[in-house]
Structure 1
Amino acid sequence: MAMKVEVMSKEVIKPASATPDHLRTIPLTLFDQFMPQTYINSIFFYSITSDNSTVTQATFPHKLKISLSEILTRFFPLAGRIEGTRIDCNDEGALFTEARADILLSDFLRTPDVVSLKQLIVNPFDYLDHGSWPLLHVKVTFFTTEAVAVAASVSHKIFDTASFIKFVRIWAATVKGCVDKVNPQFIASAFYPPADLSVEVPPLMPLRKKSITKRFVFRSSNIHKLKTRVASEHVMNHTRVEAITALLYSAIKGSRSNESFTMTQSINLRPRLPSTLLPPDAMGNLLYSPLLNEDSESEIKITEMVSKLRKTKEELNEIIMEETRGTESTASKLRMIGERIAMEMLSSLSESRAETNVYVMTSFCRMPFYEVDFGWGTPLWIASYVYEMSRLCILMDAKDGEGIEAWVTLPEEDMSAFEQHQDLVAAEN
């Protein structure tokens, strides 16, 4: 059923108090420089009923705005703007949009489609001047019955997924009047070398207009069968994310059999580094994105890809262990690890030919998206969508926490062959 969304209002939300002068400038990092001008988006769908609500539909938008203004004093870069190689924390504010949909949420959730999802988030490409883009967009859409979608979008130039979900959870808790002790630390520039506009770095995720996004759902029972089938003597205890990632890459390669391409998977560094070096509340793009180059002749077997993915993680762990053995100060160790990882990524990037297509995999799995509660309990469903991106796969937990939903964006001419790949069809059905 087609959905029509009408925008009711737009408002700029500024921090409740001014950002101190000594916090007004945050350098971008070399890794930030890799990132395209795109946003991390998630849409949280809720049912509004009397027995699960601590807020009412009438007061909800106001509570969202007040609480957003409050936490922007802690997440002050989100109210700023990007200027060259830095974030100008100028308190210009975040964009808050309120809208209404002409459909029941229950009808929408029966067959959710990407065209409809686009209407529930703010399109950043409406802003022609990159420097004028708000780094945070919020869109709240009420459905025709007691239901609402809360969409949050944060610039990938300054936040990774771990930072994004940390922010959203704290915001939701603030709406309910809960007090947390999280102290976000914007220290990515102490880890990765600073950005340099004189260095031309090709983006890992190039923008492309003619692409298509589809959702693929893998039940836990099918994931278990896949893990059993691809177990090998090299990797016996692979994860469900490794198995699905390898499956998707195998299907992508099958759809482009005569093409060399490069694959990369984003790895969150926080759980891999000692908390004394990198605090859990560290914000920014604190990722490692190794590149795997595949030639046009080879056929990717899922078992081989699982082994390659595991090897990249083991190599990362070895780098961290080597650089933390010394007696240097905490700041020095952090900087050395960041520089070493950055050099590894730049080295692998330099080995890729300019015309080679890059396929990016990122996983939201095991992150607490389904714990985001604005006062109406946990979400009925969560969707993710990235505007104008090509060759991107996003993995998200299903609501049961065991299945996986994959949001796959490919060029239009590649999607048909991809979705008919026999291994993909077998794992999804």
Structure 2
Amino acid sequence: MMMVKLLRSGRRQLHTIITRELIKPSSPTPPHLKTYNLSSVDQLFHQTYIPLILFYANNGDCSFSTKHIAQEMKKSLSHSLTRYYPFAGRLPTPTTPYVDCNDEGVIFVEAKNDSQLKTFQDITEQDRNMDHLFADGLVCENYPLSTNIAGVQLNHFACGGVGVAVSMSHIIGDGSTLGSFVNHWASVARYGSLDHQEVLALNPHFVQYPKTLHIQPKSPVNQAYANLVTKKFLFTNTKLSHLKNKVNQVAAAGSTPRINNPTRVEVLTSLLYKTAITAAMKKSGYFKPSYLLMPVDLRDKLVEKLPQTTVGNLLALMMVPTTHETEISLSAMTAEIKKAKSQLQGVQSVQHAAENLQSLMSKFVNEGFEDVAKRSYVCSSLCGFPFNKVDFGWGKPTSGILALKPADSNGFVLKDTPDGDGIEALVILEKEDMEIFQNDKELLSFGNISE
């Protein structure tokens, strides 16, 4: 057993590693699947990890017995890995363009923490440091570079609740891939069989890519800004409906192009982006051309559409430029977002998506990456991702958190509220901009700061 003492919230926190082992697939991977080639888009991602932790409260349910949880989770993970076979493999080196599907296994750590589960749910996003809740510290940038594809840590809290922490290498997949994997694993645990009809629908879909040379990402490492701060804002579905109505009314008046049924995410992204640009203008006293960057899931946008359970980084980067002060309006920005999204419809192939990403990276480099980065806002939406519904057999989680490191660029991260009645927006801005942003009257008429 390894004990770690951590100072948190003014007290010493005792974190104890109980066991650490490798979970292998319940049956060996067939010889013809021993090599999983990464796509050209996969290779554009640095070897970082997407860290998800799901919190489950102990509500006194007899099925929620911490004594048997670890055993059941290991067994179901082993079965699930026969489908998600690359996850049990290794990268021969951190830069190798393929996974060796050698069935070495997924790291599974069981740990005990003397804190209450509520401690980690209540602390602010900016102060949250949960590296010790993840197996081998596989959180975001991991040094020295690991060749592991995935890791799991089961955390038992003093209250009887648990935290299931899953790390997945970004080089093998995006947020959709992680969501599909976790839901497949949970369904195997819940139904007890790989062949159950509810599980079969969640089976992964793999695209076979030709073996290629390693593609070196062309974008430089982002410049870190020491004065970035993070705050969370809440927007209920009722308020978001009012926001959609406002955007539609302005567009109907003819001052901007007509907008066909904007989504909650589109209008909220427009509001956040508009407010951020306005705050930057008030701080500097003048307008600077800005960019909104949004990763977009391509699974349903490729010419040959792919299932949502497709493994990989099926992403494109959408860019919405704001080049003139007259373009700063909710309806104009929403229209531009929908226009940019429509232009991604009918992408020919994953290779074309990779070429577009490389072209965009080159554009940033040619225009002076650091200057462009300071005028860019990256918006990542996790709305609709099934993290809040992951049920291993003891109910849905009280919350699901991506334990991301403090961001090094301006932006927004959107996700559904745990009760499904709105969107949580994590806003990352420079300190002076945030002071103006958080007091914007239009913003506060649709949402409020979450303390």
TM-score (norm 1): 0.83
Matched with 2:339 is 311
Tell me which amino acid in the other structure corresponds to 2:337. Answer: L
Q: Is the 8 A contact 1:103 1:143 kept in 2?
A: yes
1:5/1:161 CA distance change after superposition, 3 Å? farther
Shift of 1:286: 1.0
Matches within 5 A, 1:14-29: 14-16=23-25, 17-29=27-39
Q: Is the 8 A contact 1:188 1:286 kept in 2?
A: no
Matched, 1:230 2:247: yes
Matched with 2:444 is 425
Matches within 5 A, 1:286-305: 286-295=314-323, 300-305=328-333
Q: Is the 8 A contact 1:81 1:88 kept in 2?
A: yes
**Once the two structures are superposed, what CA deviation does each residue of 1:51-77 show, in whole Å capped at 9, x if it has no partner?**
3x5341111122222222222222122
Matches within 5 A, 1:30-69: 30-51=40-61, 54-69=63-78
Partner of residue 400 from structure 1, selected from 393, 411, 419: 419
**Worse overlay, 74-83 or 242-251:** 74-83
Q: Is the 8 A contact 1:254 1:421 kept in 2?
A: no
**Once the two structures are superposed, what CA deviation does each residue of 1:370-427 show, in whole Å capped at 9, x if it has no partner?**
2211122111122223125423432111123230012334456654444344443332
Matched with 1:146 is 160
Q: Is the 8 A contact 1:362 1:393 kept in 2?
A: yes
Residues of 2 paired with 1:382 and 1:159: CA distance?
19
Matched, 1:338 2:354: no
Shift of 1:10: 5.2
Matched, 1:186 2:211: no
Q: Is the 8 A contact 2:41 2:353 kept in 1?
A: no
Shift of 1:366: 1.7
**Once the two structures are superposed, what CA deviation does each residue of 1:18-46 show, in whole Å capped at 9, x if it has no partner?**
33332222222222233233222222111
**Once the two structures are superposed, what CA deviation does each residue of 1:282-337 show, in whole Å capped at 9, x if it has no partner?**
210112222233448676322222111101221122x35xxxxxxxxxxxxxxx43
Matched with 1:80 is 89
Q: Is the 8 A contact 1:47 1:376 kept in 2?
A: no
Partner of residue 375 from structure 1, selected from 393, 408, 428: 393
Q: Which ranges in structure 2 are unaligned for 5 or more consecutive residues?
A: 1-7, 253-257, 282-286
SS in 2 for 1:6: strand
Matched, 1:129 2:152: no
Residues of 1 paired with 2:274 and 2:231: CA distance?
17
SS in 1 for 2:66: coil
Matched with 1:330 is none
Matched, 1:158 2:172: yes
Residues of 2 paired with 1:89 and 1:315: CA distance?
37
Tell me which amino acid in the other structure corresponds to 1:301. Answer: S
**Once the two structures are superposed, what CA deviation does each residue of 1:219-239 show, in whole Å capped at 9, x if it has no partner?**
222212222222224214111
Shift of 1:150: 1.4
Residues of 2 paired with 1:59 and 1:112: CA distance?
32
1:423/1:79 CA distance change after superposition, 3 Å? farther
Tell me which amino acid in the other structure corresponds to 2:235. Answer: F
Matches within 5 A, 1:280-291: 280-291=308-319
Partner of residue 252 from structure 1, selected from 256, 259, 276: 276
Matched with 1:328 is none
Matched with 1:333 is none
1:227/1:173 CA distance change after superposition, 3 Å? same
SS in 2 for 1:251: helix
Matched with 1:386 is 404
Residues of 1 paired with 2:434 and 2:393: CA distance?
39
SS in 2 for 1:78: helix
Residues of 1 paired with 2:242 and 2:41: CA distance?
37
Instruction: Number of aligned residue pairs: give it.
Output: 406
Matches within 5 A, 1:86-105: 86-105=98-117
SS in 1 for 2:15: strand
1:360/1:384 CA distance change after superposition, 3 Å? same
Q: Is the 8 A contact 2:19 2:111 kept in 1?
A: no
1:185/1:116 CA distance change after superposition, 3 Å? same
Partner of residue 301 from structure 2, selected from 266, 272, 285: 272
Matches within 5 A, 1:408-419: 408-410=427-429, 415-419=434-438
Q: Is the 8 A contact 2:50 2:140 kept in 1?
A: no
1:375/1:393 CA distance change after superposition, 3 Å? same
Shift of 1:248: 2.1
